[in-house]
Amino acid sequence: MAVAVEAQGNLLRLAGYSGHDVPEDDLLRACVHCGMCLPSCPTYRLTGQEMSSPRGRLWLMKSVADGRLDLLDPIFDEQMYQCLNCRACEAVCPSGVHYGPLVEAARSQLEQHRPRPFWQRAVRGLAMGWLFGETKRLRALVGGLRFYQRTRLDRAVRRTGVLRLLRMEELEAMLPPVARRALVPGRERWTADDGGRSVRLFNGCVMGTVFADTNRAAARVVARNGAAVDLPVGQQCCGALHVHAGMMDEARTLARRNIDAFEASGDDPVVVTAAGCGAALKEYGYLLKDDPDYADRGARFSARVRDVTEYLAEGDLVPPPRAVRRTVTYQEPCHLVHAQRISTQPRKLLRAVRGLTLIEMKESSLCCGSAGVYNLIRKEMADDLGDRKARHAIETTATEVITANPGCAMQLRASLGRNGSTAHVRHVVELLDEAYGGPRTKPAVGGESRR
Amino acid sequence: MRSEPDDRGGAVGGIDGELPASIDGLTPSTFVAPATAQEVAEVLADAAERGLAVAPVGAGTALALGNPPDRLDLVLSTARLREVIDYEPTDLVLSVGAGARLGDVQTVLAEHGQELPIDPPRGDEATIGGLIATGLAGPRRLAAGTLRDLLIGVAVAHPSGTVTKAGGMVVKNVTGFDLPRIYHGSLGTLGIVVSANFKVLPLPRAEATVTAAAPSWEAAVAAAERLRSSRLDPAALDVMRRDGAWSIGVRLMGREATVGGLADEARALLVGETAVATGAESAAWWRGYTADQAAIAQGDDVVVRISVRPRAVGGLIGSLVRLEEEQEVQVGYLGASVGVGSVVLRLRLAGDNPASRLAALREALLTLADQVVVLAAPSAWKRGFDVWGRPPETIDVMRSLKHQFDPVRVLNPGRFAGRI
Amino acid sequence: MNRTSLVERLEGILGPGGVFHRPSDLLVYEYDGSVDGAVDTALPAAVTLPTTTEQVAAIVRLAHEAGLPVTARGAGTGLSGGAVAQQGGIIVSLTRMDRIVEIDRADRTALVEPGVINLELSETTLPQGYFFAPDPSSQRACTIGGNVAENSGGPHCLKYGVTTNHVLGLEVVLPDGRIVWTGGHADGGPGYDLTAAMVGSEGMLGIVTKALVRLTPAPEATLVLLAAFGDVDAASHATSRVIGAGIVPAALELMDALTIQAVEPAYHAGYPLDAGAVLLIEIDGVVEDVRALGEEIAAICREAGATEVRSATAQAERDLLWKGRKMALAAMGRLAPNYYLHDTVVPRSKLPATLHRVDEISRHFDLPIANVFHAGDGNLHPLMLFDRRRAGDVERVLEASKEILHYCVEVGGALSGEHGIGTEKRDYVTLVYSADDLAAMAGIKNSFDPAGCFNPEKLFPKGYMCGEVRALRAQAMAQKLGIYAF
């Protein structure tokens, strides 16, 4: 039985998948529609409707493949992009369905075949292709933002109401104080005294600019735990945003440049501070699997990637000397807990801090609504999720909400503020860094950090 | 084979147990005691054809239950359907004829260290079929549930002349609608259960009953609440007033080594003088205590069961005590299963015109609780109201159910709720 | 009523956000959790997502008036096709009715809407010391409404009983659209036990819009034992010995070698890889009983030939032992791309013989079958492993299940212990029930739903409830008895 698309009373031939990045049939068929994924899915929790569940979306993908649903049917576009790609469903799937690559391929299909108005294409091209395509450009823009905050221009602008007019108020509310200086690969490095091990830090686009100080904190903590840290020159944005948006070509270009940049450092661990980047970097092997020159190199690169919490929790952590007497709660970034299955490690690190009280919040692994740029394009659903998350965080009475991803940090900041909380949002490594003594941290045995 | 009911009248004398001369004043013209399920069905089909009304009877221990029948022509005894059909101790399942008495069944089970964990008032004499039909239960349902929770299969004879089965001989079964549970408590108005299958349980290895006198009903209820929220997980927990004195009884079950300790804990939670009975004595204490709850009309006794949500039991007892004074009722016996929310009264009505006084008492009780059932009362007094209480809002579904199973109202016409 | 006016009127009840009717929106409501091939999919005409009882009643009244089939749906995790709208019509999806209305500690009850997720009810009440006992394997996703419809079980129903033992009352929308209550806080309500009729009725008698369920106090202590055996016979034997000793464990689960080999490498639960079978036995109660019973069970298992017995009381260790059991289905993905989870019951004493038969069937059809099941109550779950892309695999699976079902019925078992009949097993019902037995069940159906609009084509053999057959049956009855007319 086929569902034909009604178009002015005529039956059209249904467009299936074509071109590159077709959702893989074997991956699709692995889903036996048992429904165990449903409660893990944030959009299903909010809507209670089947099409907004992972199972429903997979069924839609299957229906397109089977010629029962048109690729360009509005429901397909709506559902492929309503998905936060948080991958919570993957973690609970009894059949081990790889949902992420499937939804990304489906989006790629839409990008390839869906007619978009010129201005949309232009904006997407400008933002995703031009701005994120070259880290230098982003650094320049963030520098401007810093100037905007620094000069108190922000207050003046807020008074004018122009932000409301441009519907950028929320965007501004999310933005934390921008780091004074961007972290530029090659310009800063950290040494550890024993000098045996070395670690390559993946800088990222937003992390290396807006959150540059978080990256520095991570580097200090890693160095304090006995590994020299540097940032290979030539590295770019990880391409996660592009993959999530179905812009696979752009993503592959960035992936190749990153692989090139890190290849010189052999098998040294590549440490990442952003969960979203880590998840994407760990999937380079899959992203480039059809590229004869890069398939193996991608897989090798992916095998080196560690989230910073994962890396630190692997060994015995040097006990942080300072007590931090504070109550915190931990919000699990989707791309850490679901995509990378890293859940106990950040908690292990937090427990290593003397004086710290960790109170678990309800639904700590439910998406906060950030999901890359989701909160910018699907504000209503993102706000609902953000409010839910803020309520759970406020319930714990924590004065700090700890997370491990820049998108989450920004979304949490805005959501907490909107719900009347003054709790700070920080990265796990920032808290650890504080317990080690902050910027004055000395490496484990003698030594000193060099700029 | 189509049998004539009249032919079987003579067979009755050979059956042990007494068959009633009448039910609520109506005297049947015929007694039958079929020997097989198929015979029961044939009797029913025949009755249906002739438009006769049939009252199934087991041991006759709860005949006072129900409204006076609209009609009564034939009493059908299940006494000859009493064999153990199948018993697999290793599977913990038992299939038994409806006419078997619970006491006999428990004896058979006890030989293998097993039991049906139920303790309906005067239940040992009652038949399995009667217990299913009346749905009467005792204090142990607090932890063990009622017979319906153990009933896994039935065979039932219908006025259509068929014998149907539902459920089976396994403890877990979702094949089709749960008919066994629907027959439970239906007072034989949908069909006559001819045999039943049960899940049985291991006998508790040891048991103890701790009792204590209480200075007031408030003290008794408070003690019961303490026990209920303790770790003791009692098998039964009742507050009672007998001969004007309040007391509390708690039944504990478990391993030999633990029950003693649990009893000590229970004593610590009770105030004042306590007594402990163990083993057979413990069980006997509960048999004695619940005997007065049976749906048996002795003289002018009235037995009433009032059910409320468990949290409301204390309040209900308080209201009953006040009502007793206002209405000049002599409540000789009050037994309350605290965690269950069930209170049974055995009472006498003082003064003139007891029938209207009973009707008034019932109205008053219905202001205190949604569920008030007059379990037993002199027949004449029961004619003014439905002894089952207010008809439920689903009464039309129930009527339709009755119509599906017994369209010409052969079985116990008028006796069940809503005079079905 | 034409489609347009149906949709308009539904939108009048629910608003536009509560109704789906475009063909592409309906696609995702054509399935439930059942296995493709064992259960057909079917498209509804419209899907409704009510948020109140009154809306459900209004939808049902409208369907009643239009003579449209109505199929209630919870999370759609069922395995017998219960939530598939076999004859089209309106699906009433209850996922947006997911409030826990009241938790009453004194009464030990919870009043919940049907869309509340099973596990989330227990998670809500556990901090107060109570839990909702029925724990189907899908408890993370399935809804209480679905549990009521299917009378769901789970590992712990060995001691605690199935859903019907935990439902005190129901708010129901009847097929004519009336809203009624059956049962309630106080036991002993007059008349027939309609709550019992509703539980396990597979959505054929009414739609549950609120359920009053019993909460069970959390036990003081819990112990999990893992016993490894050389083969399934020894493990089954040990099961009977434990039960024979007068012990009722909270759960008693058996896993065979194939299951162990799938589970252990994936989850490292600590099951010995060379074992032919393991038993997972949980006991709970007061702390002194649990300790002593644990030792007693361990001794029984050793006597019965256990090669290894381990026990765990700490939550984390217990969770790890259980993890292998709970993730068994997930681990099957390592052995084959597809599986068909079957559900039958046999008397416990027939377990060894049944497992042998299953093994024979497995070899005969060249179909790997793993066994992971509730041994304590004889509830078998043969897991047939296959690859749907391979020609003939699905057919072989269906043939093999038929043989297994036949055997289980032969030895005195039941067609389903906890999954329900639905469309999956409706044509097997005549293996256990005669035409007369089914007529009695039809009597229940007819008294609630004389028009036959609620979840048609379920439970009864195909065609059984349709008008023509019913008329014929009535005629036959009439000829036979002159009175008995459906």
Instruction: Tell me whether residue C238 is in a domain.
Output: yes
Query: Number of structural domains, chain C?
Result: 4
By Cβ distance, the residue of A49, A59, A92 closest to C27 is: A59
Q: Are residues C41 and C63 in the same domain?
A: yes
Q: What is the CATH number of the domain that holds A398?
A: 3.40.50
pLDDT in tens, chain B (420 residues): 333 333 333 233 334 445 677 899 999 999 999 999 999 999 999 999 999 999 999 999 999 999 999 999 999 999 999 999 999 999 999 999 999 999 999 999 999 999 999 999 999 999 999 999 999 999 999 999 999 999 999 999 999 999 999 999 999 999 999 999 999 999 999 999 999 999 999 999 999 999 999 999 999 999 999 999 999 999 999 999 999 999 999 999 999 989 999 999 999 999 889 999 999 999 999 999 999 999 988 889 999 999 999 999 999 999 999 999 888 889 999 999 999 999 999 999 878 899 999 999 999 999 999 899 999 999 999 999 999 999 999 999 999 999 999 999 999 999 999 999
Are C370 and C462 in the same domain? no
Reading phi first (left if > 0) and then psi (alpha if -120 to 50, else beta), residue B243 is in left
- Max intra-chain CA distance, chain B: 67
Whether chain A has a CB inside 8 Å of the CB on C120: the answer is yes
- Return the DSSP state at A131: I
Residue C327 vs residue C78, higher pLDDT:
C78
Q: Do residues B39 and B110 share a domain?
A: yes
- Do C314 and C383 belong to one domain? yes
Q: State whether the Cα torsion C426-C429-C430-C433 is positive or negative.
A: negative
Which of C19, C109, C112 lies closest to C58, judged by CA? C19
Give the total number of structural domains in chain A. 2
Higher pLDDT, C326 or B230: B230
**pLDDT recorded at residue A145:** 80
Q: Is the dihedral of CA C27, C31, C33, C36 positive or negative?
A: negative
ipTM score of the complex? 0.94
Residue B393 has its nearest CB partner, among C180, C289, C432, at C180
Least Cα distance to C31 among A96, A54, A2, A33 occurs for A33
| DSSP reduced 3-state for C371 | strand
Rounded distance, CA A286 to CA A241, Å?
A: 16
State which H helix or E strand residue C356 sits in.
helix C351-364
Domain boundary among C34, C67, C93: C93
Q: Does B400 touch chain C (CB under 8 A)?
A: yes
Do residues C95 and C49 lie in contact, with contact meaning Cβ atoms separated by under 8 Å? yes
From start to end of A296-423, where are the E strands? 305-307, 326-330, 356-358, 400-403
Tell me how far apart the alpha carbons of residues C202 and C83 are, in angstroms, rounded to a whole number. Answer: 9
Q: B229: domain CATH number?
A: 3.30.70.2190
Angstrom distance (rounded) from CA B417 to CA C20: 43
- The answer to whether residue A273 sits within a structural domain is no
* C277 found inside a domain: yes
What one-letter code names the amino acid at C202? E
Which helix (H) or strand (E) covers residue C124, if one does? Answer: helix C118-125
In a domain, C402, yes or no: no
- Beta strands C46-48 and B371-376, pairing class: unpaired
> Are B380 and B279 in the same domain?
no
- C147 within some domain: yes
Q: Which residue of C has its CA nearest to A3?
A: C23
Which H/E stretch holds residue C210?
strand C207-214
C34 and C68 assigned to the same domain = yes
Q: How far is C338 from chain B, CA to nearest CA, in Å?
A: 26
By the 10 Å C-beta count (0-12 exposed, 13-18 middle, 19+ buried), A426 is classed as: buried
**CA pair distance A321, A349, nearest whole angstrom:** 14
CATH number for the domain spanning B78: value is 3.30.465.10
Tell whether C337 lies on the interface with A, counting CB pairs under 8 A: yes
Residues B73 and B198 in one domain: yes
C-beta atoms surrounding C185 within 10 Å? 20
Tokens of B266: 């229970």
**Which pLDDT value is given to residue A161?**
65
Domain of residue A26: give its range. 6-113
C73 found inside a domain? yes
CA-to-CA distance for A407 and A428, rounded, in angstroms? 14
Tell which of A70, A94, A113 closes a domain.
A113
| pLDDT tens digit sequence for A324-345 | 999 999 999 999 999 999 999 9
Burial of C177 (0-12, 13-18, 19+ CB in 10 A): middle
Domain ends where: B292, B308, B339? Answer: B292
Q: Please tell me if residue B309 touches chain C, with a CB cutoff of 8 Å.
A: yes
Residues 243-272 of chain C whose Cβ lies under 8 A from any Cβ of chain B: 243-244, 246-248
Residues C263, C311 share a domain: yes
Confidence of residue C445 (pLDDT cuts 50, 70, 90): very high
How many whole angstroms from its chain centre is CA A175?
16
Task: Count Cβ atoms below 10 Å from residue A189 Cβ, excluding itself.
Answer: 17
Q: Which residues of C100-111 are buried (b: 16+ CB within 10 A; e: fewer)?
A: eeebeeebbbbb
Assigned domain for C403 exists: no
Quickly tell me which residue has 């679905």 as its tokens: C146
Q: Do B403 and C447 touch (CB under 8 A)?
A: yes
pLDDT at site A6:
43
Residue A170 phi/psi, 5° resolution? -65, -40
Select the residue of C193, C346, C417 nearest B185 (Cβ to Cβ).
C193
What is the DSSP secondary structure assignment for residue C336, as one 8-state letter? -
Query: CB atoms < 10 A from the CB of A311, how many?
Result: 21
Q: Which of C46, C74, C93 finishes a domain?
A: C93
Q: How far is CA C206 from the centre of its chain?
A: 18
Task: State the average pLDDT over residues C327-339.
Answer: 82
Last residue of a domain, one of C42, C68, C93: C93
Is residue B409 within 8 A of residue B159, CB to CB? The reply is no
**Three-state secondary structure call for residue C484:** coil
Closest CA to A134 of A224, A254, A51: A254
Percentage with pLDDT > 90 across chain B: 89
C/B Cβ contact: 3+ pairs below 8 Å: yes
CA C335 to chain centre: 25
3-state secondary structure of C131: strand
Residues B246 and B132 in one domain: no
Q: Are A275 and A405 in contact (CB under 8 A)?
A: yes
CATH assignment at residue B380: 3.30.70.260
Whether residue C376 sits in one domain with residue C280: yes
Q: B178: helix, coil or strand?
A: coil
Q: Which domain holds residue B317?
A: 294-384
Flag whether A450 is in a domain. Answer: no
Cα–Cα nearest to C160, from C316, C314, C377:
C377
The domain of C304 spans 221-393
Q: Smallest CA–CA separation between C164 and chain B, in Å?
A: 8
CB A64 within 8 A of CB A18: no
Residues 356-395 on C with a CB inside 8 Å of B are: 374, 377-379
C205 and C140, same structural domain? yes
Instruction: Read off the tokens for A262.
Output: 């890190």
Residue B115 in contact with partner chain C when CB distance is under 8 A? no
Q: Which two tokens stand for residue B79?
A: 């006494």
Q: Which of A91, A113, A135 is the last residue of a domain?
A: A113
Residue A44 within any structural domain of the chain: yes
In B270-414, alpha helices (H):
279-290, 313-327, 354-368, 395-405
The reply to whether A287 falls in a domain is no
State the DSSP string of A58-105: HHHHHHHHTTSS-TT-HHHHHHHHH-----HHHHH-TT---HHHHHHH
Q: Helix or strand or coil: residue C137?
A: coil
Q: How many domains does chain B have?
A: 3
Max alpha carbon distance in chain C (Å)? 71
Same-domain pairing of C165 and C295: no
Sign of CA dihedral A129, A132, A137, A138: positive
Shared-domain flag, residues C340 and C369: yes
- Phi and psi at residue C131, in whole multiples of 5°? -145, 160
Are C299 and C369 contained in the same domain?
A: yes
pLDDT of residue B146: 96
Asked if residue B275 and residue B184 are part of one domain, the reply reads no
pLDDT of residue B4: 39
- In what helix (H) or strand (E) does residue B114 lie, and over which residues does it extend? strand B114-115
Q: Looking at A78, A113, A148, which one is the last position of a domain?
A: A113
Helix then strand then coil, in percent of chain B rounded to 5, is 35, 25, 40
Residue ranges for chain A with pLDDT beneath 70: 1-13, 160-171, 193-195, 372-373, 376, 440-451
- Structural domain contains residue A422: yes
pLDDT of the residue at A128: 77
Q: Contacts of residue C458 in chain B, CB cutoff 8 Å?
A: none
Does residue A216 form part of some domain?
no
Task: Tell me whether C312 touches chain A (CB under 8 Å).
Answer: no
In this complex, do B45 and C348 lie within 8 Å of one another by their Cβ atoms?
no
- A: neighbours with 3+ CB pairs under 8 Å? C
Q: State the DSSP H helix or E strand holding residue A272, giving kind and residue range, or none if neither.
A: strand A270-272
CA distance B50 to chain C (A): 11
Q: Which residue of C has its CA nearest to A41?
A: C141
In-domain check, residue A448: no
* Domain end call among B245, B275, B292: B292
**Contact status of C23 with chain A (Cβ, < 8 Å):** yes
Q: Are B220 and B250 in contact (CB under 8 A)?
A: no
Q: What is the DSSP letter of A130?
A: I
Looking up residue C196, the CATH number of its domain turns out to be 3.30.465.10
CB C262 within 8 A of CB C328: yes
Q: Is residue A318 a contact partner of residue A281, using CB atoms and an 8 Å limit? A: no
For residue C390, list chain A residues with Cβ-Cβ distance below 8 A.
Answer: none
Do the domain assignments include residue C108? yes
Task: Give the pLDDT confidence score for residue B8 in this predicted structure.
Answer: 33
Considering the domain architecture, whether residues B303 and B286 belong to the same structural domain is answered as no
Flag whether pLDDT at C312 surpasses 80. yes
| One domain for residues B303 and B401 | no
φ/ψ bin of A319: left (φ > 0), alpha (ψ from -120 to 50), beta (otherwise): beta
Residues C82 and C230 in one domain: no
* Ramachandran quadrant class, C8 (left: phi over 0; alpha: psi -120 to 50; beta: rest): alpha
- Do residues C146 and C57 share a domain? no
Residue at a domain's end among B252, B273, B292:
B292
Residues B38 and B181 occupy one common structural domain = yes
pLDDT (0 to 100) of residue A448: 37
Task: Say whether both B190 and B309 belong to one domain.
Answer: no
